[in-house]
Amino acid sequence: MAKLQIQFLKSCPGKTGLPDDGLPEIAFIGRSNVGKSSLINKLNNGRKVARTSSRPGCTQYINIYTTSRNFYIADLPGYGYAKAPERLRKQWIGWIGGYLRERQPLRGSILLVDCRHPNLEKDLSMARFLMEGGKPYIIALTKSDKLKRGKLAQSVRIAGEMGPVIPVSSVDGSGINELYKWLATATAIQSAGS
């Protein structure tokens, strides 16, 4: 897969309004500030994708993007706001879990984890969801430019407990080609099978 063009399509409150034309969908999941918007922009040939997500902590919107490779990106709401009450956090995780289990066109997920914090409980529980879901997923270990080589290797090892890891940087572009390859494979599974 060469470079992608990515365009914002719409924000969906909950599961209603999600695309139903059968095209594959890839979920992007991660804590707020993990570098999700930056990564999506980087995948869009480094150009800013119009529109970034809204009101942290109070809404449960899934932002849907179309891509030039005929799959959708589903940008799930960030989780793990420090200030969010426990009740809200649980509700949130449950809601994302529901999407991951039930969403038919979902072909795989990218879990973004900050390379400087490779074993936060919130990320571990999200990784557990993905593991149990049985669909392909990858850990994108973000902001890899922020760590020296040795520290990054250590972080990759720790995050490796959660699943396969690709260290990425939206600043220096490392890992982006590997991510394109993963996306190509994950979204091709369907065309081969049905």
Ligand X SMILES: Nc1nc2c(ncn2[C@@H]2O[C@H](COP(=O)(O)OP(=O)(O)O)[C@@H](O)[C@H]2O)c(=O)[nH]1
DSSP 127-181: HHHHHHHTS-EEEEEE-GGGS-HHHHHHHHHHHTTTS-EEE--TTT-TTHHHHHH
The single residue among 27, 30, 37, 76 that binds Mg ion, judged by CB under 5 A, is 37
Site string for ligand X, 109-148 (x = CB under 6 A): ---------------------------------xx-xx--
Partner touching 80 among Mg ion, ligand X, none, CB below 5 to 8 Å by kind: none
The single residue among 63, 67, 169, 187 that binds ligand X, judged by CB under 6 A, is 169
Cα distance between residue 135 and residue 164, in whole Å: 13
Query: What SS3 string covers 81-131?
Result: CCCCCHHHHHHHHHHHHHHHHHCCCEEEEEEEEECCCCCCHHHHHHHHHHH
107: nearest Cα among 23, 10, 11, 7: 23
Q: Which is nearer to ligand X, 145 or 178 (CB)?
A: 145
Site string for Mg ion, 43-62 (x = CB under 5 A): ----------x---------
Q: Which residues in the 3-32 window bind ligand X by CB under 6 A? A: 30, 32
Q: Which is nearer to ligand X, 82 or 192 (CB)?
A: 82
Angle at 73 between CA 48 and CA 154, to 5 degrees: 80
Partner touching 34 among ligand X, Mg ion, none, CB below 5 to 8 Å by kind: ligand X
Residue 34 found at the interface with ligand X (CB under 6 A) = yes
Positions in the binding site for Mg ion (CB under 5 A): 37, 53
Positions in the binding site for ligand X (CB under 6 A): 30, 32-38, 78, 142-143, 145-146, 169-171
